[in-house]
Amino acid sequence: MTTLVIAEHDNAGLKGSTLNTITAAAQCGADVHVLVAGFNAGAVAQAAAQVVGVSKVLHADAAYFADGLAENVAEQVLAIAGSYSHILAPATAYGKNILPRVAAKLDVSQISEITKVDSPDTFERPIYAGNAIATVQSTDAVKVITVRTTGFDAAAATGGSAAVETIAAVADSGKSAFVSREVAKSDRPELTAAKVIVSGGRGMGSGDAFKVLEPLADRLGAAMGASRAAVDAGFVPNDWQVGQTGKIVAPQLYIAVGISGAIQHLAGMKDSKTIVAINKDPEAPIFSVADYGIVGDLFEIVPQLVAELG
């Protein structure tokens, strides 16, 4: 069995989500190939070749791959799909846009957001906002799978020596065109890759109140996050949202401030290694998953934490 991983990248470097997906792929089959579809993305192909566990990198280069349009990347995957028993991509916006198209064209059922590989045809995935784990067995000839990256350790980025093979790029599908991209810029770590996250909820009361969390995040070198309630209230931007309908994270340390702990939020962060909750309500559901809980006024406690951290 040979497994194909669709690399998520920006034409300059691999995204961390690809490394987690490669780990999952290695548990599915003996050989792992990585497809790099991009434009002037030779550096990405070379980086993929150095990942431990990768036996071959397929590099398709064309201008219409530059922006990762799902229609074009999916066609490239379909052009080589016959050689693989498993096709995997990270369960990010990138992978979720491409793989359903691949599964539909192959007439197979996609297996979404797996967190464990039990065997080459059996996988585990969360359902009901993470309150239950479903074990799914597939009899499809080709398993099309998205990987919840928090469920797998990242493969080592160096130490491998895979061959890089240039393959013919498929023709431009002409079904879509890139218009523009608005990228949020921040000096803080990217939310899904951060080792420490400080998140605020509706209990913050306002967008201005989130400034109370900034010194704490600065001391810890943390990313800033938020609950859906805080985002919906307009306190912070959408790209801060953690949860079932936001970003799934699993940092070393997650500090939840003024977050009650709705089931949808817990689904996005309960796999964090250490969870600290600060809330004035001792009955808040967030305390059920917290390793450490502090009951009290966040506007008093957070400055005290900052002072203790020096």
274 is in an annotated binding site: no
Burial string for 112-145 (b: 16+ CB within 10 Å, else e) reads bbbbebeebbebebbeebbeeeeebebeeebbbb
pLDDT of residue 186: 77
The predicted pLDDT at position 131 comes to 83
Domain boundaries of the chain, sorted by first residue: 2-166, 191-309
Write the single-letter amino acid at 284: A
The verdict on whether residue 9 carries a ligand-binding annotation is no
241 assigned to a ligand binding site:
yes
Question: Does 242 count as an annotated binding residue?
Answer: yes
Task: Consult the annotation and say whether 202 binds a ligand.
Answer: yes
Is 188 annotated in some ligand binding site? no
pLDDT of 292 higher than 90: yes
Q: Is pLDDT at 297 greater than 80 in this prediction?
A: yes
In this prediction, residue 149 carries a pLDDT of 93
pLDDT tens per residue, range 239-288: 999 998 899 999 999 999 999 999 999 999 999 999 999 999 999 999 99
Q: Which of 274, 150, 153 is nearest to 220 (CA)?
A: 274
Residue 110 annotated as lining a ligand binding site: no
User: Is residue 128 pLDDT above 90, yes or no?
Assistant: no
Q: What is the pLDDT averaged over residues 23-46? A: 95
Dist CA 219 CA 50 (whole Å): 34
Kindly report, residue by residue over 177-224, the tens digit of the pLDDT: 999 887 777 789 999 889 999 999 999 999 999 999 999 999 999 999
Question: What is the β-pairing status of strands 274-279 and 292-295?
Answer: parallel
Give mean pLDDT, residues 219-240: 96
Two tokens, residue 178: 């890139």
Strands 122-127 and 132-137: antiparallel
Q: In this model, does residue 289 exceed pLDDT 80?
A: yes
Task: Tell whether residue 45 is among the known ligand binding residues.
Answer: no
Percent of the chain with pLDDT over 90: 93
Rounded CA separation 214/200 (Å): 11
Q: Establish whether 259 is an annotated binding residue.
A: yes
pLDDT at 32: 97
Q: Which fold has domain 2-166?
A: Rossmann fold (3.40.50)
The answer to whether the annotation marks 109 as part of a ligand binding site is no
Please provide the distance, in angstroms rounded to a whole number, between the alpha carbons at the two ends of the chain. Answer: 54
How many helices (H) does the chain have, and how many strands (E)? 8, 15
Is 228 annotated to bind a ligand? Reply is yes
- Between CA 189 and CA 149 the distance in angstroms is 17
Determine if residue 133 is labeled as part of a ligand binding site: no
Q: Are 155 and 21 contacting, i.e. CB atoms less than 8 angstroms apart? A: no
* pLDDT at residue number 130: 82
**132 phi and psi angles, rounded to 5 deg:** -145, 155
- Give the helix/strand (H/E) hosting 34: strand 31-38
Cα–Cα distance measured from residue 176 to residue 199, given in angstroms and rounded to the nearest whole number: 36
Q: Is 191-309 CATH 3.90.1330.10?
A: no
Average pLDDT rounded to a whole number, residues 88-114 = 97
Residue 126 has pLDDT above 80, yes or no: yes
The alpha-carbon radius of gyration of the chain (Å, integer) is 21
pLDDT, average across residues 98-122: 97
2-166 shares its CATH topology with 191-309: yes
Give the pLDDT confidence score for residue 102 in this predicted structure.
98
Mean pLDDT of the chain: 95
**263 assigned binding-site residue:** yes
Q: What is the predicted pLDDT for the residue at 29?
A: 79
Write out pLDDT tens, residues 135-186: 999 999 999 999 999 999 999 999 999 999 999 999 999 999 999 887 777 7
Give residue 30's pLDDT band: very low, low, confident or very high (50, 70, 90).
confident
pLDDT computed for residue 13 by the predictor: 95
What pTM, to 2 d.p., does this model score?
0.87
